[in-house]
């Protein structure tokens, strides 16, 4: 049989009346409620007996009661009600989300809130460690760079040719000092052994440096190379800290360099005060830290004293202190925590006056006046440049609290102000 086949003549008609399907839950909404439920349907035979109807009503009320108990169990976490009939519903497991309706004790709530607040306010440790490392490495790096700048032929030439530098009373002229002194300075920065200085001879063919002088220069070279290696290592650490702070901490590099510049200023000012109060004692204490007693004292006729007199060392100390002080001051200025560098909004005196004026003017305006002034301000801000002080007024005056505000006049003023031609503006 297909859809186009004819209907058989003896086929019974389907029963579409749902009155007899009282047990089907899909037709529950069609059943009458209240007093109308006891009345039989018009035009139909009263098939069900009164006892039957009461039994079905009792079953329906029991089903509704079981549904209410099931929902109550779901809200209370699966607790079984007292007097509940035994069945499979009595052993039903609670839903996974049923515990969300149970509020924990107040002490637990306060503890969790405190932990959440502490976690939100806590700052990571790694950026702080990197900032401290950067602040510690900065003074040492500056000091090593300043010492390297002083131990160069350029500084040696400036010292020998500056006015007032003491001459040699034993025959060395400026050319001799520059030649022999350059050998000594080069020896401190190269990888040659003591023979580099031990085999040098003067014009008469005698050895230029004695054995004690060569030994002391070897000790100085060890200290210099060690300081250069330490400065290089700390420079690498500082570079790693800078790269890390640029990625993980906004403003971390600035804060680390700012703290390092302050520490450098404190150190260099303290050392400068000690040197000024007693240079001889300061020079002696400095040599006793790095060299053994008796290995760094020479007579006035020795080559090291003739090439590097006491005035040379005082000038070298002043140059090192000046270079470190200048670099630290420049870093301090460039990293000073201004409002703009900290990401805070700028507040000048003119901005404060304008904000106060706008606030006081807004207090005396009605709702219509406020909207009118907002429209006029929006039109002003779209123009290029700022009008000069001598330029004529371009906008319609907004009535204030002293005048009589008119609700009808405000839209007209706004339309006139919008259609008025724009005056000259500064580019």
Ranges of each domain in the chain: 125-334
When pLDDT is cut at 50, 70 and 90, the band that residue 391 belongs to is: very low
Q: Residue 62, SS3?
A: helix
Range in 31-40, 65-74, 333-342, 347-356 with the lowest mean pLDDT: 31-40
Range in 28-32, 111-115, 373-377 with the lowest mean pLDDT: 373-377
Range in 131-140, 277-286, 333-342, 414-423 with the lowest mean pLDDT: 414-423
The mean pLDDT of 103-107, rounded to a whole number, is: 82
Cα angle value 166/172/175 (rounded, 5°): 95
Tell me the per-residue pLDDT of 266-305, one tens digit each, with 9 for 90 and over.
Answer: 999 999 999 999 999 999 999 999 998 888 989 999 999 9
CB 338 within 8 A of CB 348: no
- What sections of 278-309 are H helices per DSSP? 279-290, 303-307
The mean pLDDT of 91-113, rounded to a whole number, is: 70
**Which residue in 136, 135, 143 sits closest to 252, CA to CA?**
135
Residue with tokens 């002194």: 181
pLDDT at 27 exceeding the cut of 70: no
pLDDT at 335 exceeding the cut of 70: yes
Residue 142 makes CB contacts below 8 A (sequence gap 6+) with 264, 323, 324, 327, 328
Residue 424 makes CB contacts below 8 A (sequence gap 6+) with 387, 391
The mean pLDDT of 246-269, rounded to a whole number, is: 92
When pLDDT is cut at 50, 70 and 90, the band that residue 328 belongs to is: very high
Residue 176 makes CB contacts below 8 A (sequence gap 6+) with 168
- Mean pLDDT of the residues in the chain: 75
What DSSP character marks residue 301? T
CB 77 within 8 A of CB 99: yes
CB 372 within 8 A of CB 404: no
When pLDDT is cut at 50, 70 and 90, the band that residue 411 belongs to is: very low
Residue 242 makes CB contacts below 8 A (sequence gap 6+) with 134, 253, 256
Rounded to an integer, what distance in angstroms lies between the CA atom of residue 374 and that of residue 368?
10
Rounded to an integer, what distance in angstroms lies between the CA atom of residue 187 and that of residue 147?
15
Tell me the per-residue pLDDT of 146-205, one tens digit each, with 9 for 90 and over.
Answer: 999 999 999 999 999 999 999 998 889 999 999 999 999 999 989 999 999 999 998 888
Rounded to an integer, what distance in angstroms lies between the CA atom of residue 118 and that of residue 113?
9
Tell me the per-residue pLDDT of 63-87, one tens digit each, with 9 for 90 and over.
Answer: 888 887 777 766 665 544 444 554 4
Rounded to an integer, what distance in angstroms lies between the CA atom of residue 196 and that of residue 181?
13
Q: pTM of whole model > 0.85?
A: no
User: Does residue 243 or residue 54 have the better pLDDT?
Assistant: 243
Helices and strands (DSSP H and E) totals, the chain: 14, 0
pLDDT value of position 209: 94
């Amino acid at each position: 049989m297909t859809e186009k086949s004819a209907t058989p003549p003896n086929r019974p008609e389907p029963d579409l009346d749902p009155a007899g399907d009282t047990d089907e839950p899909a037709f529950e909404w069609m059943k009458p409620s209240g007093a109308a439920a006891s009345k039989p349907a018009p035009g139909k035979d009263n098939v069900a007996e009164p006892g039957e109807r009461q039994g079905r009503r009792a079953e329906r009320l029991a089903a509704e009661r079981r549904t209410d108990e099931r929902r109550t169990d779901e809200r209370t976490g699966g607790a079984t009600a007292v007097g509940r009939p035994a069945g499979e519903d009595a052993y039903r497991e609670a839903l996974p989300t049923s515990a969300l309706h149970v509020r924990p004790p107040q002490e637990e709530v306060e503890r969790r809130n405190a932990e959440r607040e502490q976690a939100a306010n806590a700052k990571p440790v790694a950026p702080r460690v990197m900032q401290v490392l950067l602040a510690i490495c900065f003074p040492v790096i500056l000091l090593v760079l300043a010492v390297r700048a002083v131990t160069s032929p350029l500084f040696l030439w400036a010292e020998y040719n500056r006015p007032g530098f003491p001459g040699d009373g034993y025959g060395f002229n400026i050319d001799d000092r520059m030649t022999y002194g350059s050998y000594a300075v080069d020896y401190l920065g190269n990888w040659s052994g003591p023979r580099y200085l031990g085999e040098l001879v003067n014009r008469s063919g005698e050895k230029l440096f004695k054995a004690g002088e060569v030994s002391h220069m070897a000790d100085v070279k060890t200290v210099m190379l060690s300081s250069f290696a330490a400065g290089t290592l700390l420079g690498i650490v500082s570079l790693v800290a800078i790269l890390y702070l640029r990625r993980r901490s906004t403003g971390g590099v600035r804060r680390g360099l700012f703290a390092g510049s302050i520490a450098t200023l404190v150190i260099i000012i303290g050392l400068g005060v000690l040197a000024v109060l007693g240079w001889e004692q300061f020079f002696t204490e400095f040599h006793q830290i790095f060299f053994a007693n008796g290995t760094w004292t020479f007579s006035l006729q020795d080559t090291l004293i003739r090439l590097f007199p006491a005035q040379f060392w005082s000038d070298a100390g002043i140059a090192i202190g000046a270079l470190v002080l200048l670099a630290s001051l420049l870093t301090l200025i460039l990293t000073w925590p201004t409002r703009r560098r900290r990401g805070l909004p700028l507040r000048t005196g003119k901005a404060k006056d304008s904000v106060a004026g706008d606030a006081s003017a807004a207090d005396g305006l009605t709702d219509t006046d406020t909207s009118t002034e907002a429209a006029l301000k929006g039109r002003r801000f779209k123009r290029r440049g700022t009008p000069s002080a001598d330029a004529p007024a371009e906008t319609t005056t907004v009535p204030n609290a002293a005048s009589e505000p008119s609700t009808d006049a405000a839209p007209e003023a706004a339309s006139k102000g919008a259609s008025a031609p724009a005056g000259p503006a500064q580019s």
